[in-house]
Structure 1
């Protein structure tokens, strides 16, 4: 893909409190075929992003008011903007500042004074990659799956429209990280008996991708599971029960006593409105898909 294909419709937001640097970059990007939006500070940049759809952000790290790092955090916290590649412009070359740039959500950085050719090359690459990733994620939705991208802090960096529709309430960072830490090919979580999550691994700097699939459940079983309000531990016990494990097996797997497992099962039977292990296991089988 040549540069004209990437830049023909690409819009870049430049955020810099130095008018000279801003003017130089504006001219260089205009000549390269980009449409350019400018802001002199972080607050103005966030306002610009409410009004204009952009494809990338060139962001000064050190500015009065909101720093570039703080501005980037706010950009990434907004689901509508989280996909935007943010490239930091900084005179700070110490490791801690570089790490801070990435931790706040940046995908790259260039050191001031800016070398225009280098900045253009990095910008072109990140815009192209971001567009290709978005197309791929949309294609996954079309195929009947959902996609969620989680950053290194366990926060949602991006979610496809299908995933957003399915996930009707927010997960905590701890829950997302527990999914990422799981070595299982597929994992179901309490509250989402008809969804399975598969960790596809790293897709970017500190970001991991989860593939979501939805399974059709018998309406009666779905209602029971949704209304049961099982705790996380109860759901784990039920899941292992559905896989044919004995109380002692479950106790060994989950690190508890068989007596505790039995107590959890009593609560599970009561919440599901069943009287036998077989009936509970039949419903619990949906948690193991």
Structure 2
């Protein structure tokens, strides 16, 4: 985010993006919000709205449902599909009060709607309510990041990454090489397996992956229905909490003490933690056969006959 915008948008009140193709509506809301102490940005069409939301990261978007070209429903869908803007609350402004239009607004990602002609007092009240909720959620996510627990939300039905914290974005890039709105394939495959396993009554299983001495552990939690949980587990949104650990000192000690390569140290480390060759292969992105070959070399170098003996020496070394 540009530094000037970062300073401006939090200087007073909330940063509100108004999206409407009618100048009179923009003027009415702009004046009311400005008088209430908010900072206001405006856009008169869908593409401009998306660009400004991505650049400025407003606290809330007031979005006209019916606009020529790209309508408000499509704008909302695109904002919600982008992890950078997915957490921004969207309040629809519409003259359409039929049930299907209200359902469409919420289905596109809106948190609320107000009907036209617009009552500025009603809009201000809705902004206050939804920005407070969004701020509390943002503070909670930032706190988790600060303590090393990154968070993200995925939907297994379509493999979408609905939102993620800054730390989660970094970890997904480092461990899976992925960026954007699509969840990494190994992650979404694990989520789908977990959904099926939990439906069958199995205990939750974390996903563990590693890059050298760095270990990433992901745990999955069902979101409440009010937060996008839904009734169908496949269609529901799932909260993923990721935590990272760096065992570089442990790996260096193993390599120095036993004359191992980095890859052999990785294999032995996970074997000492009780993982099978298949488990180790999944964690390291190798085949079980390759892991078996590494174990053979490890046992020779350490002068022991079994992986149990090798694991015991590792545990004695690292305590």
Matched, 1:199 2:229: no
Q: Which residue of 2 aligns with 1:145?
A: 149
Query: Does the 8 A contact of 1:179 with 1:197 survive in 2?
Result: no
> Structure 1 unaligned runs (5+)?
1-5, 228-234, 241-266, 283-289
1:37-89 deviation line (CA, Å, top 9, x unaligned) = 11111122123335534211000111111111111222223333222111111
Counterpart Cα distance in 2 of 1:180 and 1:113: 47
Q: Count residues with an aligned counterpart.
A: 244
Matched, 1:80 2:88: no
Counterpart Cα distance in 2 of 1:139 and 1:89: 33
Query: 2:49 is paired with a residue of what secondary structure?
Result: helix
Counterpart Cα distance in 1 of 2:262 and 2:134: 37
* Alignment TM-score, normalising by the size of structure 2: 0.63
Query: 1:49 is paired with a residue of what secondary structure?
Result: helix
Which of 2, 27, 34 in structure 1 is aligned with 2:31? 27
Query: 2:189 is paired with a residue of what secondary structure?
Result: helix
Counterpart Cα distance in 2 of 1:90 and 1:163: 35
**RMSD of aligned Cα (Å):** 3.7
Q: Which residue of 2 aligns with 1:162?
A: 167
Q: Structure 1 residues 26-35 or 210-219, which shifts more? A: 210-219
Query: 1:167 is paired with a residue of what secondary structure?
Result: helix
Matched, 1:268 2:291: no
The verdict on how the C-alpha distance between 1:57 and 1:271 changes in structure 2, with shifts beyond 3 A counting, is: same
Counterpart Cα distance in 2 of 1:191 and 1:101: 41
Query: Does the 8 A contact of 1:179 with 1:199 survive in 2?
Result: no
Question: What's the offset of the Cα at 1:166?
Answer: 1.4
The verdict on how the C-alpha distance between 1:180 and 1:20 changes in structure 2, with shifts beyond 3 A counting, is: farther
Which of 168, 173, 187 in structure 1 is aligned with 2:206? 187
> Structure 2 unaligned runs (5+)?
1-9, 179-183, 230-236, 252-259, 268-274, 281-286, 300-305, 312-319
Counterpart Cα distance in 2 of 1:153 and 1:101: 20
Query: Does the 8 A contact of 2:88 with 2:134 survive in 1?
Result: yes
Query: 1:80 is paired with a residue of what secondary structure?
Result: coil
Q: Which residue of 1 aligns with 2:244?
A: 214
Matched, 1:105 2:106: no
1:179-237 deviation line (CA, Å, top 9, x unaligned) = 7626444411567792222223326235432211224456479846999xxxxxxx999
Counterpart Cα distance in 2 of 1:138 and 1:147: 9
Question: What's the offset of the Cα at 1:19?
Answer: 2.2
